[in-house]
Structure 1
Amino acid sequence: MTIPRRSALLLPVALGMAGAAQAQTQNQTGPAGRWPTQPVRIIVPAPGGGGTADTLARIFAQEMEKRVNQRVLIDNRGGANGNIGALAGARAAPDGYTILWSWAGTLATGPALYKDLPFDPEKDFEPVVLIGNVPNVLVVNKELGIRTLEQFGAYARANPGAINFGSTGNGSSMHLAGELYKSLTGTQMTHVPYTAPAAGVTDLLSGRIQAMFNLITGVVGQVKAGAVTPIAVLDDRRSPQLPDVPTTAELGMPGLVFGTWFGLFLPKGSDPAFVQRLNTLANEILNDPEAKARFEQSGMATLGGPPQRLATFLHEEIGRHAALVRASGARNE
């Protein structure tokens, strides 16, 4: 039988469409297409009980459950500044059912802070998506009488070493934010590490220390109660939790941007289809208005994007944090 010319011209297109449809069907019935068919575990390298990382991870898990019709379980693995949990994530089976929820301190600061880190943040994980960022905010004791970033700088320059700023330990977000301020302004301040944020806030209220570069989530209550004076949010956009507090970018210090960012990772060797499927799902959650509002109410500005965005960002952050750790002289063995 002779095929008419028009049909002959259209035949390759039809065959191509049929092949694409078949491939799509195969993908939908393949491992990533069916995923998940059983509960999914998210390792959070922090204790449970309402800390920033745990709270945000649980919001994500709840939103994920709505969309995949499977349980999404939080597996808290606290200890060693997140290293225990991150190592568990690196050693998990790359089958799409174990996800690591981790952040700047463990993956960007850790390589410079620890001599023998038991995992490589860039080589042992498949980056999935950059979830979001919780910025630091500079707050001072009310009795200091300082209200602006300019006044804070003038006081620090006039009184070298007189400002004691608290943090949750060497290499913590609060510590490195203070070190970044010192490096940008050439001022001298004294770092006072604490084992828990609440202890530092207590001493800030009493005047035993004069300042903190705390995460917004750790001091928003005291700011709203008028117990401490907020100076600036270390970001380039205002926080929904503290909309009346200016950002460092607004105040002429665009380089003074610091916070704790969060990302999703799969173990190295995971099927790229799993990475893409989870990335698509995560971006759907981060762009959902209701989910976005839940994250923002908990202090995090959502980000999202393709896996490569997280890979590039992580590489840059490792270099940035290494420079700050070197400048501070901090070291954990």
Structure 2
Amino acid sequence: MPGNHIGRACRLALAATALLWLPVAAQAQTGAAPVWPPKLVRIIVPFGAGSSPDIIGRVLGDSLQARYPATNFVIENKPGASGNIGTDAIAKSVPDGSTIGISLGGPLAINTLLFARLAYNPDTDLAPITMLTQLPSVLAVPTSLGVNSV
């Protein structure tokens, strides 16, 4: 039947195409998987020492150090420009697993509205891993103002 002949030809063409790609797939499978963590991991915090992200970064660094004792986890504070300097350093780091960034919503969301141009694009230059914590926001006024609620 003519229809059967066309179906058979398509199946043969697909099989031949699959065979042509087989060496490429085999080569991709034989490549060595990257080992994590490397000997040194930088944890970049785009805020000053003692800030909430710094404390979170140090707790994370200590936990990772305990889990991976052969690796050094180094906290690098890069404050300035509302977190943009450190976040830019995270965005421009080599994507090899040797750099982790700890940040807040400012450099990742709010600064896109406050600054005319950023040296990084939070949507395309950074890959989120997880949300570590949720920090509460508090509105405070002097008691002499007489305000009890908003």
Same fold (TM over 0.5): yes
Find the aligned partners of 1:140 and 1:47 in 2 and give their Cα distance: 25
In the alignment, which residue of structure 1 is the partner of 2:95? 94
Question: Counterparts of 1:1-333 in structure 2 under 5 Å?
Answer: 30-31=33-34, 34-48=35-49, 50-69=50-69, 70-146=71-147, 148-149=148-149, 153=150
RMSD over aligned Cα, in angstroms?
A: 1.9
| 1:30 partner amino acid | A
The separation in 1 between residues aligned to 2:38 and 2:127, in whole angstroms, is: 21
Q: Secondary structure at the match of 2:43?
A: strand
Q: Deviations over 1:194-221 (max 9, x none)?
A: xxxxxxxxxxxxxxxxxxxxxxxxxxxx
Letter in 2 for 1:118: A
Whole-Å Cα distance in 2 between the matches of residues 117 and 65 of structure 1? 33
- TM-score by length of structure 2 reads 0.72
Please, which runs of 5 or more residues in structure 1 have no aligned partner?
1-25, 154-333
Q: Any idea what SS the aligned residue of 1:75 has?
A: strand
Report the AA paired with residue 67 of structure 2: R
Name the SS of the counterpart of 2:127 in structure 1: strand
SS at match of 2:37: coil
Paired AA for residue 53 in structure 2: A
Amino acid at match of 2:141: V
2:11 corresponds in structure 1 to none
Deviations 1:278-319 (A, max 9, x none): xxxxxxxxxxxxxxxxxxxxxxxxxxxxxxxxxxxxxxxxxx
Residues 237-274 of structure 1, C-alpha deviations (whole Å, 9 max, x = no match): xxxxxxxxxxxxxxxxxxxxxxxxxxxxxxxxxxxxxx
Quote how far apart the aligned CAs of 1:139 are.
2.5
Query: TM-score when scaled to structure 1?
Result: 0.34
Counterparts of 2:146 and 2:48, CA distance in 1:
37
Question: In 2, Cα distance between the equivalents of 1:116 and 1:106?
Answer: 12
Larger Rg: 2
Q: Could you tell me how far 1:145 is from its partner in structure 2? A: 4.1
Q: Equivalents in 2 of 1:145, 1:126: separation in Å?
A: 45
Using the alignment, how far apart are the partners of 1:104 and 1:127 within structure 2?
A: 12
How many Å separate the matches in 1 of 2:46 and 2:51?
11
The count of aligned residue pairs is 120
* Partner-residue secondary structure (3-state), 2:132: strand
Letter in 1 for 2:57: A
Shift of 1:53: 1.7
